[in-house]
Structure 1
Amino acid sequence: MKKFLTAVVAAIVVVVIASGVVHWMSTSDVAGPDAPPTDGPSTPVQPDHCPRVEFIAAPGTWESAKGDDPFNPTANPMSFMLSITRPLQERYPANEVKVWTLPYTAQFKNINAQDQMSYDESREEGISTLEHELISMHQECPQTDFILAGFSQGAVIAGDIANKIGADGGVIPAERIRGVALIADGRREPGVGQAVGNGVAGVGAEVSLAPLNLVVQPIVPGATMRGPRVGGFGSLQDRVFDICAPDDSICDAPFNVGNALGRARGLVESNGVHAMYATNPNVIPGTTANQWVVEWAQGLING
């Protein structure tokens, strides 16, 4: 009997040891701490209804309204950005390329128009609305890429958003941006982004007038001149394209103290050069600004 019990105990010990060895081998030799995980990060699912690209247009001052239809804007039938968005809508079906125009209160209150929204308020509304579109679209369609284009105040808005995205502080990843076109950008700086067309010697009005905010505020209340964008366009530097007509005081303002009052008034008064980007042959040799942007956008979409 004693020998029998001894044999049973010995058999149990062997089984326990063998089980431990098997467990050790399965956790140490086969899938040790340096072994790669069995399930890697998966590519986000792109629903079938999502477009490949969304083209977002940001109109300039007086060319949009908060309640406007982003797919068929009618707030200003003469809006410059319509000469870009309409050809793209005609060229691509909506399920392939979504063309969306920023609806915001595009105003620039001066001292004689108290019932209008100030530049600061209008700009912030535009930024908030455009960023909300980027966020919601990226959440729904994570593999959709974006092209941004803006004119005048819309260029400031698109440029500010590109600045944040390029510096890794934006609302969507930089790799989802195919390109940005800024036409008559009020915060333009030479060497920041890629210049298109004939060169200009000046800078954006916000850069030119930033040291003179005390002069600007009595003429255009609530229009803070913020100077250049800190950090430029970061990782988007090679994907941001800058278009400025020579002598357009919005993007080609002199960088000096002289005639500050005249330059401040130029922000809200009629600017013949600023209103002719669709026809001005002196901006980009051989074409016009809107034609160039349409062809550039088509190249990005097709590519």
Structure 2
Amino acid sequence: MRKTLTVIAVIAVVLLIGAGVVRWQNTREADGPGTGPQPTETLGEGDTPGQPDWCPAVEFISAPGTWESAPDDDPIHPQANPESFMLKVSAPLQERYPEDQVKVWTLPYTAQFRNINADHEMSYDESRQEGTAKLKGELKLTHDQCPQTDFVLAGFSQGAVIVGDVVAEIGTGQGIIPAERVRGAAVVADGRRVPGVGVVPGTQVSGVGAEVALAPLSKLVQPIVPGATMRGERVGGFGELNDRTMDICAPDDGICDAPRDVGNALGRARELVEANGVHALYAYNEHVVPGTTTDQWLIGWAQGLIDS
């Protein structure tokens, strides 16, 4: 009896295997040639894996300064402040390059600075955090969709702090995109500036950014600038991107060329609030980058990176 059952089981297995083979053969003939796994297509010379045709080769990101932007502004055609310093840089680049080659994107954020003269405005910390989050979001969105697109970033004043912070994260391996995707960055009137960090293409200044100068007394300046944390210098600087980050500061601009000796903290905080004059003249001051103005230098610098 046991031998009989074994023979029956073997016959059943053979029949099942045979039926499977017949079904596979019929399916293959019905489908015809060319179905099933196909050889992987070999990329030709010049082909870029994972990069859609519509992706730009470069994205230029512009970060305006305080009162030069708005959270609902159009990042492609910004209109929040027609006199924005960064608009003097981004607009000529947008006119020079077709959109499918270079995307010019302007950071839309609140760009305010609450102080004793403007208590109704968003605080510096909140405005900066908003701008930083939006900038990182744009970098991630573009990089996810267009992984071979490179970036050039530039910012002025509060926008320089935002760009500098993001570039520092990328350069020290903590960023939202790889450092190799950043062709260059420029920070103009950076509030966290430290001499020797980054590359100075123009006049060397010995002072530091206001956030660095006032960091030891950050809590004491809150009555003048509530919600503005003075965070000091960036730990690790710009890291791998140090030699690709341009540091531009006008002599005697209290935002980026402040003396380390704070002296009267409240007085220095008032100077920070009332900063104008030198700080507002980067588009006209020929002593920042000798022989030209900062906006014109930035345009040439960006074109060189894009064309390379």
TM-score, with normalisation over the residues of structure 2? 0.84
1:197 to 188, 195, 202: 202
Equivalent position to 1:152, from 148, 152, 157: 157
- Alignment partner of 1:240 is 2:239: no
Residue 175 of structure 1 pairs with residue 180 of structure 2: yes
Q: Which moved more, 1:286-295 or 1:262-271?
A: 262-271
Equivalent of 2:83, from 71, 78, 81? 78
Q: Which amino acid aligns with 2:62?
A: A
Give the whole-Å Cα distance in 2 for the aligned partners of 1:297 and 1:50. 19
1:7-37 residue CA offsets vs partner (Å, 9 max, x unmatched): xxxxxxxxxxxxxxxxxxxxxxxxxxxxxxx
State the 1:260 CA deviation: 2.3
Displacement of 1:195 in angstroms is 1.1
C-alpha offsets along residues 227-285 of structure 1, whole Å, 9 cap, x if unaligned? Answer: 00000011001100000000000000000131322221122214200000000011011
Corresponding residue for 1:91? 96
Is this contact kept in 1: 2:255–2:275, CA < 8 A? Answer: no
Query: 2:295 — aligned with what?
Result: 290
Unpaired segments ≥5 residues, structure 1:
1-37
Separation in 2, partners of 1:112, 1:297? 36
Shift of 1:84: 0.1
Aligned mates of 1:89, 1:49 — CA distance in 2: 17
Check if 1:67 corresponds to 2:67. Answer: no
Q: Runs of 5+ in structure 2 lacking a partner?
A: 1-39, 42-46
Residue equivalent to 1:269 = 274
> Over the residues paired in the alignment, what is the CA RMSD in angstroms?
1.8
Q: Distance in 1 between matches of 2:245 and 2:275?
A: 28
Q: 2:111 aligns with which of 99, 106, 109?
A: 106
Is the CA contact (8 Å cut-off) linking 2:62 and 2:106 kept in structure 1? yes
Partner of 2:212: 207
Number of residue equivalences: 266
Q: One-letter code of the match for 2:184? A: G
**2:59 aligned partner:** 54
Decide which of 139, 148, 161 is 2:166's aligned counterpart: 161
Q: Deviations over 1:104-145 (max 9, x none)?
A: 000000134332100000000000000000000000111000
- Report what 1:21 is aligned to: none
Q: Which residue among 259, 265, 268 is the counterpart of 1:260?
A: 265
Q: Distance in 2 between matches of 1:301 and 1:43?
A: 18
- The separation in 1 between residues aligned to 2:209 and 2:95, in whole angstroms, is 33
Identify if the C-alpha distance between structure 1 residues 43 and 298 changes in structure 2 by more than 3 Å, giving closer, same or farther: closer
User: What's 1:25 paired with?
Assistant: none
Output the CA distance in 1 between the equivalents of 2:168 and 2:275: 29
The C-alpha deviation readout for 1:137-195, integer Å capped at 9, x for no partner, is 00011100000000000000000000000011000000000000000000000010101
**Aligned match for 2:226, one of 207, 218, 221:** 221
Q: What percent identity do the matched residue pairs reach?
A: 69
Q: Is the 8 A contact 2:154 2:163 kept in 1?
A: yes
Relative to the length of structure 1, the TM-score reads: 0.85
1:218 is paired with a residue of what secondary structure?
Answer: coil
Residue identity in the other structure for 2:225: V
Provide, for residues 54-106 of structure 1, a one-character-per-residue CA deviation record: whole Å limited to 9, x for no partner: 00000000000000000111111110001000110111011100000000000
Any conservation in 1 of the 2:262–2:268 contact (CA below 8 Å)? no
Amino acid at match of 2:140: I
Structure-2 separation of matches of 1:87 and 1:259:
42
